[in-house]
Structure 1
């Protein structure tokens, strides 16, 4: 199973790297959305610090939704998804590898860019660290839960909109916890409780989402 997972992960990474435009689009969108507010509000540091957590995390959520359309669509188009279903390897393991590749190519870059973008809001060192760690956990949940919506909307007309409608309510707790951790760090409060809850959500999503995604993909191909 480990070999099957690593093979699926490698395939997912290579498939994503062959489409640099798809990789860059969510990052560009995230940078544009989060940069508009400092430009519009002006250099009022107190106000920028107050609105930074909500804007950064809302932008991260929207950018992650933008990246979900390419999670399984290429595999559906070239027949790879059907081959995965027919493979003797456990389908859920192959799906887990694909989800991991999606997080590495969309969630991790987004988490790395987030602290750089947050400098526009005047965040200091501890807050930037809390944002980076929280974004790594949060984008992991975005990718795992988002994979369920991407599988349910696969091949349907208006699938991107359907995926967003299905996934966004489930991802709102991540935004609340992530912005809460950043707000706590900015106000001198320990952000560890928020980050621990984010970690718990990530563990639960990792344990359950691949199974739900695999079941949804099987239904979409029947």
Structure 2
């Protein structure tokens, strides 16, 4: 885009870094798909049904952290590759279950592979999970006007709050950070966040409510609450190990 060879880039928001190259920025956030994680298995219907010692596949430290905290008796095994490759590894018997983003399976028309959805109360999603963002040159008024109608403000407010928390934590998509924001009945933002050790032995959680116009401020304030409660020490340990 900086070389003028492309006008936009379309991203899954959970994979978008907190910082952009100079001259580029996030212009639009489209309406959010299902933000939850999906439990996928050929033999079991939920995490709760898994027997002791069951092998669960994921490459996400966030998922590993929260699942291990709830079920320390199961084995978390690294799982990589595209969605098709991951499902094939499950079907080949390498795992008892795998955890994937529900939005990805729905968009690929593979919803039938989902045995159950993992609710945010059990495991917070990744920052921006389920949302799609459009990046472009910040000074390209023609493109900005063309894509402006694609913006979904409810989703944007929620995702900006989540990303502000992540930015203040100096987090990335490969660290055990979860965040999820909803709009309440009285049109306020309710933002939850967590930072945890990958093995699930320690998880720090916090939540905050506030006006939608203060999305970024709320995210920063929540991050500060987490840091004050010990998240900084956990993140320092994680970064030393990766």
TM-score normalised to the size of structure 1? 0.29
Query: Which TM-score applies when normalising by structure 2?
Result: 0.27
Q: Whose helix proportion is higher, 1 or 2?
A: 1
Q: Counting strand residues as a fraction of each chain, which structure ranks higher?
A: 2
